[in-house]
């Protein structure tokens, strides 16, 4: 019996069939179209690059930072070449058309899609994501270099250098990270001259009851502490060791209760003080360790969280440094700058980058659950390579409908040669702590 060649239905466009596999699994086309409608960016007429395709394209740009605009689009389209007549030539929109499509789309749909979808994903079975029932979070900020264009320089600014200024303008952002999964969420972005503390205030609404937030000493102030505490989350922040904290009551685990005040006048008059628990400790046998570390926490009962456990736990804050390294080095690429030439497209590209990282981390989390592993033990670099290999192959919806697509599998099939595997020689989180940490409570 003769076989019927699979072709696009009459009147269809090849871009109607783009769904980008793992990206569309994380950001379903129905959600994308809903956001486009809410922001007034839904395509009003037939175009080579309709709005929902441009959303997926912007996310894909983050997966192929070293490829040209047209090559990224070609990568997306070649996977559905089988829908065309075998003799048909693939038409790839030019760079100008791509730029116009991105400009029509704007920033807001990408920002709203990010805020709507990108959230903590750990479940009860996720290893390394919890401490005594609290979901572990860390907060920190970083910068990214953008294209050296006059408009970008005016919009974002650039840091100083030994001689004049640095080569590229930069954007600054602050995020929360879910420690167990390395999901970056609640992100706020601004120009280089915007302080991390100012951006962090926009991050706080993403904290909630049931979370335990870790943060470095840079973020501490009475006002910001109170704002973070008001979210309902518990806090464990490092503070400067020279901050005056009078001991009011020594607790059985070596920590003690004290008070912080909004001003020096309040301190002198003992007014408007807020009770906190202080943990002073040392790291023995660790090269380069500081003489003393000081932590502040809202968890006042030592039976709920003993001092030695919290001191060890604080060093989980470095999980966000690992997540930022994934974003900036392994996904974006070392010494790569965001390629967009205008401020709005820089912002758009940034949100695409954050969503690409979330999609990868979401798939790695599924793989970790199937393998009963800690997500930290899976290789992010390997995940990026696999997704780049598979994206052109599995992004098309066949003509007979989505219901016939086998569900995405996070384990062996996705991983290609053996799927995700723990990185050889990498210690587990507990092993790393055992080697590096020894708790010694300091005296008042």
Pairwise CA distance, residues 315 & 89, whole Å: 55
Q: How confident is the model at residue 162 (pLDDT cuts 50, 70, 90)?
A: low
300-339 residues labelled b (16+ CB within 10 A) or e (exposed): eebeebbbbebbbbbbbbebbeebbebbbebbbeeeebbe
For residue 432, the SS3 value is: helix
Nearest to 355 by CA among 117, 165, 129: 117
The answer to whether the beta carbons of residues 297 and 305 sit under 8 Å apart is: yes
Q: Mind listing the pLDDT tens digit for each residue in 74-133?
A: 777 665 554 445 555 656 778 888 999 999 999 999 999 999 999 999 999 999 999 999
pTM, two decimals, is 0.83
Which residue(s) pair with 396 in the sheet? 18
pLDDT on residue 288:
79
Q: Mind listing the pLDDT tens digit for each residue in 337-395?
A: 999 999 999 999 999 999 999 999 998 999 899 999 999 888 888 888 877 776 655 54
Percent of the chain with pLDDT over 90: 55
pLDDT on residue 302:
96
199-211 residues labelled b (16+ CB within 10 A) or e (exposed): bbeebbebbeeeb
């Amino acid at each position: 019996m003769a076989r019927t060649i699979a072709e696009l239905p009459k009147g269809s466009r090849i871009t109607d069939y783009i769904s980008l596999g793992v990206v569309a699994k994380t950001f379903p086309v129905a959600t994308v179209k809903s956001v486009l409608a809410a922001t007034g960016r839904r395509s009003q007429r037939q175009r080579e690059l309709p709005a929902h395709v441009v959303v997926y394209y912007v996310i894909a740009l983050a997966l192929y930072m070293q490829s040209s605009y047209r090559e990224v689009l070609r990568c997306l389209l070649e996977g559905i070449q089988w829908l065309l007549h075998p003799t048909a030539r693939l038409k790839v929109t030019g760079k100008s058309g791509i730029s116009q499509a991105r400009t029509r789309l704007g920033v807001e749909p990408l920002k709203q899609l990010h805020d709507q979808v990108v959230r903590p994903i750990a479940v009860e079975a996720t290893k390394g994501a919890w401490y005594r029932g609290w979901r572990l979070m860390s907060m920190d900020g970083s910068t990214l270099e953008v294209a050296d264009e006059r408009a970008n320089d005016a919009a974002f600014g650039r840091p100083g250098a030994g001689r004049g200024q640095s080569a590229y303008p930069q954007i600054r952002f602050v995020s929360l990270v879910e420690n167990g999964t390395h999901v970056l969420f609640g992100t706020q972005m601004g120009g280089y001259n915007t302080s991390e503390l100012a951006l962090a205030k926009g991050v706080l609404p993403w904290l909630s009851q049931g979370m335990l937030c870790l943060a470095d000493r840079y973020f501490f102030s009475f006002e910001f502490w109170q704002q973070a505490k008001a979210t309902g989350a518990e806090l464990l922040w490092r503070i400067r060791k020279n901050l005056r904290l009078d001991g009011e009551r020594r607790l059985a685990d070596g920590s003690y209760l004290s008070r912080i005040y909004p001003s020096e006048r309040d301190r002198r008059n003992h007014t408007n003080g807020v009770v906190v628990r202080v943990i002073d400790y040392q790291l023995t046998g660790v090269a380069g360790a500081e003489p003393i570390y000081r932590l502040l926490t809202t968890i006042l009962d030592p039976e709920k969280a003993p001092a030695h456990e919290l001191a060890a736990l604080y060093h989980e804050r470095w999980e966000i440094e690992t997540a930022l390294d994934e974003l900036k080095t392994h996904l974006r690429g070392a010494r790569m700058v965001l390629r967009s030439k205008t401020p709005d497209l820089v912002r758009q590209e940034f949100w695409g980058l954050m969503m690409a990282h979330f999609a990868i981390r979401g798939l790695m989390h599924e793989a970790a659950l199937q393998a009963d592993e800690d997500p930290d033990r899976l290789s992010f670099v390997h995940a990026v390579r696999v997704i780049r290999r598979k994206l052109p192959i599995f992004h098309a919806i066949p003509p007979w409908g989505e219901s016939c697509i086998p569900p995405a599998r996070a384990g062996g099939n996705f991983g290609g040669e053996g799927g995700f595997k723990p990185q050889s020689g990498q210690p587990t989180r507990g092993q790393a702590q055992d080697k590096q940490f020894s708790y010694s409570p300091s005296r008042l």
